[in-house]
């Protein structure tokens, strides 16, 4: 029997769940000074869910 986590991984278009390091990379980028000119945007880190 598959767990909810296994089901989520199978349903993710990229075929795997993101390790914390991948999510942290996006957060680290947004927390830096470099993206200071980015306003009113979304950085989608969802393994392809919104592309379905």
pTM value surpassing 0.75: no
3-state SS, residue 4: helix
pLDDT in tens, the chain (52 residues): 679 988 888 999 999 999 999 999 999 988 999 888 988 888 899 999 998 8
3-state SS, residue 47: coil
Phi, psi of 23 (to 5 degrees): -70, -40
**CA 50 – CA 20 distance, rounded (Å):** 20
Which residues does 11 contact at the CB level (< 8 Å), separation at least 6?
none
Widest Cα–Cα separation across the chain: 48
pLDDT at residue number 34: 86
The domain locations on the chain are 4-51
């Amino acid at each position: 029997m598959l767990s909810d986590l296994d089901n989520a991984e199978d349903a993710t278009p990229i075929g795997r769940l993101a390790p914390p390091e991948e999510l942290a990379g996006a957060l680290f980028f947004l927390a830096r000074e470099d993206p200071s000119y980015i306003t009113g945007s979304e950085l989608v880190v969802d393994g392809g869910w919104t592309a379905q």
